[in-house]
Amino acid sequence: MVALKWLLMIVGAGLFGSAGALVAYDVYLSEQLRRLLSRNKTDESGAEVGTLARRPFRPVRWRLALQLTTAGALLLLITESFAVVPDGAAGVRVSEFWGARPGTLYPGVHLITPLVDSIAIYDTREQVYSTVAAENPKQKGDLLTVQAREGLNIGLAVSVRYRLDPKRLDSIHRNLPQPVGEQVVAPVVSTIYRQLAPNYITREIFATKREELRTTAADAITARLASDGIIVREVLLRDLQLPEEYAKGLEGLLLKEQENERLGTEQEIKGKQVKIAELEAEAQKARDVKQAEAQAQVRVLQAKAEADAMQYTLPLKQKQIEQTKLEAQARKESTLQNAEAAAQAKIIDSKAEVERQKNLSDAEANRIRVTAAADAERMKYEASVLKSNPMLIQKIIAERLSDKLQIMMVPIDGRNFFANDVMRSAFSGVTSADNLDDPPAPAAATAQRKQPRRP
């Protein structure tokens, strides 16, 4: 339909142009002919002038031009009677006599009265109005600053998603200035935020009540713009810009508050742990009490059961006691007999031990006597050997010193030999040994003195 409209407009414009060109062409030809005639009248040849004077002028084709103009006007009127509303938009019929007509023209082709009605097109898609929190050449948008309760300026970056209500486009066209985003939405958003910001302190806007401020402002903006036929989809508070000095101080304060909250949370956790421990102790106490009561009841029941059982087991216990007495008497008799047997065995063992000690003493005395006699005989034999061969002393000394001395040098005359004194004592000992006539007697006496006492 749009292509047909443009085609009709082109054809109508062509007809208008053709009519004008036709009239201009005819006028041009007439003017040229008139010039030729006026030029020939001044010529000296009268015959030629008479011939040209008898040629008629060509008339202008006004009727054909009028027909072409009428056809072009009709085509243009036909094109003006069709209005096309594109997608994502809506239109309002505006009359030259009555102004905006009620009703909305939705996307499509609509018939209107040519030269009387026109269509005002409005974009009904969602639009976004945005502000910036601080001046930044890279960001587009109006700068929005508000004052908190303390009087500090805070920059707000706000985005409002809105669209025009298609059902109220006639009212919007009649009452609202254009463009709607700059002339209506922007003042409403800035005014409402500036009205609500003084109700909060800077710290609340920045931290705790930021969402509350956004929600309250969104409700107020939605209600205010809804009365003008503007539907608000969403209000976003993208960013906050605090004064630099205040931001630094607030950051330090927030860090301290976070530390305080952390300590408070830890204290609450400790308190809950203490409470849990108390509850667990009380629960354990209750369990212990219940368990003690249950054990007491069990003992009572056991005592009752034992009392009931005693009625039946008492005769059996008496028989068991009598049997125990008899068994004790038997064990007593058996113990006495065992004790007597053990005493007799000990007496026999004592006698045997005395006899054994006596035999051992006799054997030891006999061994001592024999040993003493053997020693006396050996000494007597050694004395006789040394007497007959005194040089054996040097041999004995050499054998005793053989593990410590390897070479022994003895002087020839033997004056300075260290064994001279030993040899002289040995020779004198041999002489005294001849006088020993009865050596076994002392040995026997010594053996008698060393004989142990008998028990």
β-strands 127-132, 142-143 pairing: parallel
Nearest residue to 83 via CA among 2, 191, 169: 2
C-alpha to C-alpha distance for 431 and 115, rounded to whole angstroms: 187
pLDDT at 66: 77
Which residues of the chain register pLDDT less than 50? 44-55, 430-455
pLDDT at 102: 82
Peptide bond before residue 179 is cis, with ω within 30 degrees of 0: yes
- Per cent of the chain over pLDDT 90 is 11
pLDDT tens digits along 364-404: 988 898 999 998 888 888 788 878 887 777 777 777 766 66
Annotated domain spans of the chain: 2-80, 126-242, 367-450
Indicate the CATH number of 126-242 among 3.40.50.12280, 3.40.1190.20, 3.30.479.30, 2.40.50.220. Answer: 3.30.479.30
Answer yes or no: are the C-beta atoms of 130 and 141 closer than 8 Å: yes
